[in-house]
Structure formats: C-alpha cells, structure tokens
Amino acid sequence: MLDTVPIVRIYKKGKGKPKSIEDTVVVEHALAIRLDKKELVTLLCSPEKLEYLAVGFLCSEGLIKEKEDIKEIVLDEDKGIIEIATAQHGKTAKDEVSKRLIGSSGARGIDVGSFGRQTVESTLAITPVEIFGLIEDFIHRSEVFDATGGVHSAALCDTRQILVFSEDIGRHNAIDKVLGECVLNEIPTDGHILVTSGRVSSEIVNKVVRSNIPVLISKSAPTNRGVRLAADLGITLIGFVREGRMNLYTHTGRVIIDGS
C-alpha cells in the first residue's frame, strides 16, 4: 500500500531550512484482468485484495452475477495479471465492455510505461516563492468557482502568473480542458508549468509529458508510479504544496533554492 521515495522538503521563508528526507507515497499498481483468456481491461489500483477487485469489477460490469459463475481465478502478482475463467460458454464478455464510458475522474487509453517516450527538456527555473505565489492564486480561483467542494482545477502558468485556468468534476478533464484551450488558442505549453488540484498518478504525468511541460505542481500527493515516471521522463514533480511547505520529488534542479 505504501512506498517511500527521497524528497526535498521546502518551507516558506522563516519556517525552516530545506531538508532531504524519505517520504511516504501511496502505491499505484496495474492489474490486467483476462476473462476467459481474453484481455479485458487494465485497472490502476492499490495492490491489495486483487482477486476481490477483479471479481467485483466483473460483477459491477454485469459480466458475472454470483460465485457459481466463476470456474477458476489465477493471480500472477509479479506480472500484474489475473486470469478468470467463467462457467459460461461461448459468450465473449469483451464485446460488452468495449463500448467504454470514461468517468468523471477516469483514465483513458494511455500506456502506463515510459518506454520509447522522449524526455522533456527545458531550462525553466522557478523559485519556492514563485511556487507558493502560483498556488495561492490557484487556490483562490478554485474557491471562487467551487461552491460544492467537489470540483478539480488545473492551470497552465509561467513562473509569475496563471495563463489558462479550468475546472471539472474530473481531475483528468480539468487538465484536458487547459491543454485543449492551449491548442485551440495556440498558447504554447513548452517550457511552462501545469498546476493541478488532484493526485498525480502515472496517467497525469503522461499527459504533461505529451504537452512537453517540464514542471508539474500539485496540491495533493503523487503515487509511487507517478514519481517514477516523472523521474524517467524529465519532469520536475512538486507535490503537497500546502500550509507553507512543499515536497520536491524529481528533477529538483529546476527549483532554485536560495538556502533560506
């Protein structure tokens, strides 16, 4: 469930010196479900109770109804594959799931690994004071729009200000709205900063990489896989920016710490 990663913790001026420490992050696991020898879906999940997850998923999808529908379950934890054989004959479950609906916080068909990806290169540099300033603006704008407390926000920024801001019930959607606005209005994303209210999973890092954005800042925590992918792909990942502190997870060289 939990993993540790090395981070640099930075505090607001006067609140403490930067510290290199180990911090806890949540584990993001990929589980491929194969139903009757056909690949059905890959779920990103926590790595516990994987048999229950697979069976519950099939049940929620209406592919099985009860225990008797299941003939065999074989879990290969190392490979992240679970094979489920059902008692039904001939019916191809895959067809039923192929018409896919993407939920409000849902991931999309992005590959999980970093294999073959270009890393993001940029000489962008930012100071902690600028990061705290951006996050303050970001939170202020979010509060103005979000009366219900259930909405995610995302923004494209330079080191001084928010350039594009969007919100949505889904953290992926909020980011896609920002990136779509940049495409349609020809606002460059290269060498800029993306701020998100939501957790940074591997899919979010992939999104940022595709738009060649070198710095990703989140109010929330990353997953271990998000951290690993950011490290592999040249992204400066900054998380948990709240209450006068922040965590630098990867490629910390772009953050200019003045030793205060």
Are the CB atoms for 156 and 178 separated by under 8 Å? yes
| Residue 166 within binding range of a second copy, rule CB under 8 A | yes
| Residue 12 within binding range of a second copy, rule CB under 8 A | no
- Residue 198's CB is within 10 A of a number of other CB atoms, namely 19
- Which of 81, 85, 110, 231 is in the footprint of a second copy by CB under 8 A? 110
Are the CB atoms for 152 and 171 separated by under 8 Å? yes
Are the CB atoms for 135 and 195 separated by under 8 Å? yes
| Residue 196 within binding range of a second copy, rule CB under 8 A | no
Interface with a second copy in residues 59-88 (CB under 8 A)? 59-62, 64, 66-67
- Which of 134, 157, 175, 237 is in the footprint of a second copy by CB under 8 A? 175
**Residue 182 structure tokens:** 């940049």
| Residue 219 within binding range of a second copy, rule CB under 8 A | no
Give the residue with the Cβ less far from a second copy, 218 or 250: 218
| Residue 105 within binding range of a second copy, rule CB under 8 A | yes
- Which of 13, 17, 51, 256 is in the footprint of a second copy by CB under 8 A? 51
| Residue 170 within binding range of a second copy, rule CB under 8 A | yes
| Residue 186 within binding range of a second copy, rule CB under 8 A | yes
CB-facing half-sphere around the CA of 240: CA atoms within 13 A: 17
Buried b / exposed e over 142-170, threshold 16 CB at 10 Å, is beeeeeeeebbbbbbbebeebbbbbbbeb
* Beta carbon of residue 256, minimum distance to a second copy (angstroms, whole number): 28
* Beta carbon of residue 82, minimum distance to a second copy (angstroms, whole number): 11
Q: What letter represents residue 95's amino acid?
A: D
